Amino acid sequence: MTTSVTGARLPPLTASVRYIRSLGKESAADVLARARASGRFAVQPRCGVGDHDAMRGLLVELAEGGAPDLLTLTIDSHTRLGRFEQARRLAHLSPRELNGYPLVAHGWRRGRDLNESVTAPLQIRHGSPDARLMFETAVASGITSFEGGGISYNLPYSKNVPLADSLAAWEAVDRRCGELADLGVVVDRELFGTLTAVLVPPSVSLAISVLEALFAARAGVRCISVAYPQGGQLAQDVAALRAIPLLAERYLPPGVDVHPVLHEFMGVFPRERAHAEDLILYGALVTRLGGASKLLTKTYQEAYGIPDAAANVAGIRLAQRARSPLLGFLAADEEAAGRELEWILAEVAEIVEPLLDRADTRAAVIEAFADGRLDIPFSASTQARSEVIPRRDPTGAIRYLSAGRLPLSAGTLRRHREQLDAGQGETPSMGSLLSELTRDINYFPLLFGESTTPGGAPGAAPGEQADAPRRNLRRTQ
């Protein structure tokens, strides 16, 4: 047995498996498989507060008001970073100061209380480079879906955690998933392809997810969700979602169930409610057209900070309307989506296949990030070079203004230059480039004709995303 920070001993794995079976509820993997079979994507909101009773009340309110297919425990920053004692102290003295639910501090018995309060399965979303104790607590709580990975939950969130450490910690989590699968409980492991959520090129997102999925599958994970962040251009987003099962077939061993997942637009949201709701519905339609198994929803309050329960319910119900059989006439531009799919598959191959040729894939990944052959844009981590500079082309699709040291072919780089506006392929001044990137990040508010603040963000919460290029671009100049 392992002892948690609350002093309560965690039950053995076999006892947790018995508890999960006794709940009599679908697992997250069951929900995803049913959604795929029915052609009606599952819907999941984000939510997380520090106080236990408030967290239970929020889950019940979302379940009763929106009937989502899955529900979320978003974990607080202290727990994410392993500061369990700080999280425990605040959970007892001032839970409102926490920006999520401190699962490890509250303990697995309270986790079970949350699980038993709703019929939908729960997922843990957090952002930790080392989630081993959090995972053990989640399993003891009966939770059957756990997000993250050694790359995607390190580089976007941490300043200086060595990749070797985070990859090793997440391998331990994935091996535990393999043990659970052998005991008859399949845990859905969702990979955070959203990364920094700021103009992430599809091939970067999917290349990272392919590598994390490969590590997870080798460790014994049986169900993998690959999350892709909505970029904003329909053909490109639909193609990226459709690429996920093709990449799984190409690179993963047999016997692994893989589900495409869309995160509704993670960038700067419009302030006006009608505009925000248009964007929410648009994301849900992209989910449908791309054949994703699940959608992570947003709310009309997104530009202002953490949404209240009523706004969250409204976002769930609006997204669900995209599943209507009356919308069967809708279709993507198949010619455009087909071209994008071909390009994405080729770019992912150019990025990952040199690494897969190495005997030690993990060492190859660590070396590739060190020298820039793997990279993500606008990362605050010292483990990434952040030399990739994305831009939107005239259609709104995300292209490479600079691919940094990614091993993309000359033909691929030439195509990206041609797809960008004339003059954008040249290296602009720092001030000019920051201005152009800010416009790209503010794509949807500007599309709706909304004004933006000088910092580029129309609201306080997304402003950090708009400022990310300003914080990190100097590393690339």
Report the catalytic residues: 80, 147
DSSP assignment of 384-424 equals S----EEEE-TTS-EEEEE-TT----HHHHHHHHHHSPTTT
List of residues 6+ apart from 92 with CB closer than 8 A: none
CA dist., res. 196 & res. 199, Å (int): 8
Helix (H) or strand (E) holding 74: strand 71-74
- Phi and psi for 388 in degrees, rounded to 5? -75, 125
Residue 134 · residue 74 · CB < 8 Å:
no
CA dist., res. 352 & res. 39, Å (int): 30
Residue 102 · residue 116 · CB < 8 Å:
no
Residue count of the chain? 477
Residue 144 · residue 188 · CB < 8 Å:
yes
Tally of CB atoms within 10 A around 365? 25
CA dist., res. 181 & res. 12, Å (int): 15
Residue 1 · residue 108 · CB < 8 Å:
no
Residue 391 · residue 437 · CB < 8 Å:
yes
Q: Look up residue 413 and give its two tokens.
A: 């780089």
Residue with tokens 């102290």: 89
Distances (CA, A) of 134 to 79, 94, 322, 459, 468: 8, 21, 34, 32, 28
Distances (CA, A) of 306 to 18, 44, 303: 36, 16, 9
Q: Look up residue 115 and give its two tokens.
A: 């699980």
Q: At what angle do helices 334-356 and 202-219 cross, to 10 degrees?
A: 50
